[in-house]
Chains A and B, each alone.
Chain A
Amino acid sequence: MSAAVTGAVPSPFAAARHRVSARRRAVERIVTTLLLVATVLSVALLVTILGYVIQRGLPALDLDFFTQRPKPFGEAGGGVGPALVGTLLLAAVSGAIAIPVGIAAAIFVVEYHSGRFAATVRFAAELIAGLPSIVVGVFVWAFLVRSVIGHYAGLAGAIALAIIMVPIVARTVEEVLRLVPHSLREAALALGAPRWRVVLRVVLPTARAGVVTAAVLALARSAGETAPLLLTTLGNQFFSTDLLQPMAALPLQIYQYAVAPYDDWHTKAWGTSLVLVIVIGLVALALRLAMRDRVR
């Protein structure tokens, strides 16, 4: 091929060049294959887990499963209504605390980077992100459950979840804020905007998709947390929306059903798992739809 390009006189380097390009093609093919295998593996893993949860959980699902409260063993029926309400409420309260705080921390670090203090904030966020969730649970148990509130309460759980969410939101939002082109900040500043308006009206809206992703990630992660809730909200067999009383939650319900020695409850544990997956999926979808770009 290269001989045709260089003309009738064969270049002394043509053979060597040909060998190099054959090698390059082989390497290219190997790398492409490896990437494909990795992609297929990760997607297959997701599909397998989801498929298994659906297969095992679907038999437990009916309307009652969503609306009824759990029944004692031996009684037919019963559902995860209180846990569903509890999880949604906990997500709403913890999200309302953690998402603004996380976004604010990220804005501070990126937009008002005042050297050492910003670095300290980042380091602190990293440390909190590295804390095992049970440690957060123990901490909240010691401070809120044992002293301030005095008993297990939904609010304590929401605060524990918020502590887990803040660094996730902060780190993810920090990354997406850094992706906003500097030229947009300059344009806004040059229009005579005060810095805070630049952040609120230009930087955050530009990074909106990434900020929503951060919120979804954090909510999804916290919705599945079990350990800190065991120590804070405790769980509840009855419907309760009182944040100062023990509250049910889907992960607690899964745990309760799963550790019991009854087959029927095991099926219910799978069903509850499926409900949790559905809830997280729907919340993510709803957030995306609510926050999608208006301008196209």
Chain B
Amino acid sequence: MTLVPQTESVVATARGSGRAVPGPREVALRVDVLSAYYGSTRAVADVSLAIEREAVTAIIGPSGCGKSTILRCLNRMHETTPGARVTGRVLLGDLDVYAPTADPVQVRSMVGMVFQKPNPFPMMSIYENVIAGPRLRGWRLSRIEQDDLVERNLRRAALWDEVKDKLRRSGAALSGGQQQRLCIARALATDPAVLLMDEPCSALDPIATYKIEELIRELSHDVTIIIVTHNMQQASRVSTKTAFMLAGDDGTGRLVEFGDTERLFTLPTDPRTEAYITGRFG
């Protein structure tokens, strides 16, 4: 039980079907036999996942197992690497993300992303960083709408009280943890249905990490969150579902096990999962 502390808020979001009584929940994102390539190298093979709506799904695994690659396939960021390509399907609601008619720009507007290293735009103020998404998409917003958007999303990212008096200052002047929360506010400002987080705490100290984890639980009330982490404690603390990935001898990452976090960490069905979570490798 100590593996899964502070699950109250997560259970509360499960629409009456808490962990004790696992029931079918709406699927926000469906991944169907997805494979990702860098040139002729297959980085990830045949991953299928059903991501629950308004819950936190963690993807864990040792370095090089393709967990970040999978994440980048979900908002079509994978293909921004030269030579990278994807086979298989990703369904976001009824939008086929890899359909020939799908626009990557539209996909990315529905699926936000937070990166490993905080990356606020250094030449923009805190305020401008938050509205960067709408501005970069060419939305026309009135002054009042902009102010409102900035305050609302800084509050959602639990950063408002710390920065409300210095909105015109550079985002680069904030601490690492604050910068990461600014990046979360920036990703939320376009109102994505899904938020992808690629090891969002790996560059942060424990207190900043704690704040981000609190925030993830808080946000999962209205956003579907997929978090990649190499920190198993973090996965067990914040997620309701966990996917464990592992690279085979051929260097290609595959999904080993996917299920309820509590079950996966206490009663793994695959011996490789057990070996990993008990610290025998990785």
Contact = CB atoms under 8 A, between A and B. Distances in A.
Scoring B82, B106, B121, B186 by chain A CB atoms within 10 A of each residue's CB, the highest score goes to B121
Given A183-B115, A197-B138, A201-B135, A190 B108 contact: yes
Interface of B: 75, 77, 80, 82, 105-106, 108-109, 112-113, 115, 117, 119, 121-125, 128, 132-133, 135-138, 168-170, 183, 186-187, 190
Nearest to B113: A190
Given A186-B115, A192-B105, A201 B136 contact: yes
Contacts of B138: 197
Contacts of B170: 295-296
A206 B77 contact: no
A206 B115 contact: no
B229 to A, nearest CB: 18
Interface string A177-201: 0000101101111111110011001
Contacts of A183: 115, 117, 119
Contacts of A193: 105, 133, 136-137
B136 A202 contact: yes
Contacts of B119: 181, 183-184, 186-187
A205 interface: yes
Contacts of B135: 201
Interface residues of A, number: 23
Contact of A191 (B106, B108, B122, B123): B108
The A interface, classified by DSSP as helix, strand, loop or mixed, is helix
Contacts of A296: 169-170
A141 to B, nearest CB: 43
A193 B187 CA distance: 12
Interface of A: 113, 181, 183-184, 186-194, 197-198, 201-202, 205-206, 208, 293, 295-296
A131 B105 CA distance: 43
B34 to A, nearest CB: 19
Contacts of B125: 295
19 contacts: A113-B82, A181-B119, A187-B115, A188-B136, A189-B77, A190-B113, A190-B187, A191-B136, A191-B190, A192-B190, A194-B105, A197-B136, A198-B136, A201-B136, A202-B136, A206-B122, A206-B123, A208-B123, A296-B169
Given A184-B121, A191-B109, 10 more contacts: A181-B119, A186-B77, A186-B119, A188-B121, A190-B115, A191-B132, A192-B137, A197-B138, A201-B132, A201-B135
Nearest to A193: B136
Scoring A181, A192, A198, A206 by chain B CB atoms within 10 A of each residue's CB, the highest score goes to A192
Nearest to B77: A190
